Structures are given as C-alpha cells and as structure tokens.
Structure 1
Amino acid sequence: MQFSKLLNVVACLATTALAGSETEAPTELLDNGPQVLACNHVNFQDCWPRINVNINTCQDVPASMSNKISSIQPNAAAGACRFFNNRGCEGPSFIAAFPCINSLPAHYPGFNDNIQSFECFH
C-alpha cells in the first residue's frame, strides 16, 4: 500500500512538472485542518468548497459533487485518502495523498466522474 501512495505522488508531481503552471495544485493551508479539494474538471478547474475531513471516518461526498469529480487533492493534514465509487466506502477504490491527482481520466479513468465516498487516514 505504501508503494501505491508513493506512485500517486510521483505521478502527480511528474504530470504537474511536465504540463506547466496550468496544472499546479492549488495552495493548501494546514491552518484549516484536514480537508479534501474536489474539482469538476481536470487540472483543478471549477472546484467546489473544500470538504472538511474526519480522519478514519467514511464520508460520503456531498450530493452536488457525487459522480462529478475529475481532479482531487487531499491536503497534507488529511494524510492519505481512499476514494470509492460507491457511497458508504464500498466498492472499488484508489488511494491519493497530497499533493494531488490532477486528472482522474489520466490516472484512474474508472473513477473519473465516479467518486461517491472517501476515508482519510494517517
């Protein structure tokens, strides 16, 4: 599992570096506590307000975001998060950690517009 977290971070950093400033993850603030940023489009475009995270607790994404997320960023305070394509943290999943997954279609195509719940952990 640690290898998959490292791979996600490396992939995000490489994609961001290669693509230039258009795909840079938004600046995250630790002062706000654990949060997840979810965006309607790749490269952090058309983002919703950050979701406050309860560590080690399954959370359904708000209905307004359900099955619409194309880029996602847990902040450093959130640790790593497992994202699921069903409510109640059920079904297929993947793990993401700060700094980001700037393009679900590129990195996890089966989860583009198909995230309904998540759980973050340290």
Structure 2
Amino acid sequence: MALQYHENRGIDLFEAIPLPKDRLVQMDTYDLRFLRTGASLTKPVFAQAMGMPLRTYEDVEDGKVEYRPIHINAAQWALVKLCADGAIPNGLPIDVESIIERAHKEIKKRGQP
C-alpha cells in the first residue's frame, strides 16, 4: 500500500508506517479500491459509509474523477464506523487497526474510559 507523510494532520492511515521524506508516495484510486476489497465491502456499502453517492464513488475508484486526499480520509473513517457496526467480517486493514490502537492508548493516557 502506498503511504504519504503528513506533518500537519492528526492520526491517519498514512502515519501507520511512516516513510522517509525522500521516499514519499501518493495514495491513489488503487489504494481506495484496496481498502474496500480488503474489507470485503461492495461499492454501494462503502460509498454510503463514506457519505458519497455510488456513482461518484465509482467514478473516483475508476479514475474518471480526480482523486483527492479527502477520499482516503472518508474511506478510513468509513472503515472504522463499519467495523464498529460489525459490518466488516474479516477485520480492518492492519494500518487502520494500528490507528485505532494508537488512539485508544492516547485516550487511556488521559484517563478516559
């Protein structure tokens, strides 16, 4: 999976396995498809969870519409929500699971349940 380093963002998929700055790679529509198929989700289910019309999702995944970072952020959050609802039978991609684990550790450090 392609990863990109982001200095000014919160926890996101890209931070799961940081790359040296001289080896930056852009995520693209292939990675969006990878996240969806890796979670055994259909396009309609994933599009709805991402909050976008199915046709728009299909156009993004098929490369007909410009891919933007907001798409991967929406995909990450959709995976988290679907997992919490029990809709992902095979679990989350390891990168997304590591984000949740790190967030959980931070919450525990602050003394929150």
TM-score, normalised with respect to structure 2: 0.29
Greater share of residues in strand: 1
Larger Rg: 2
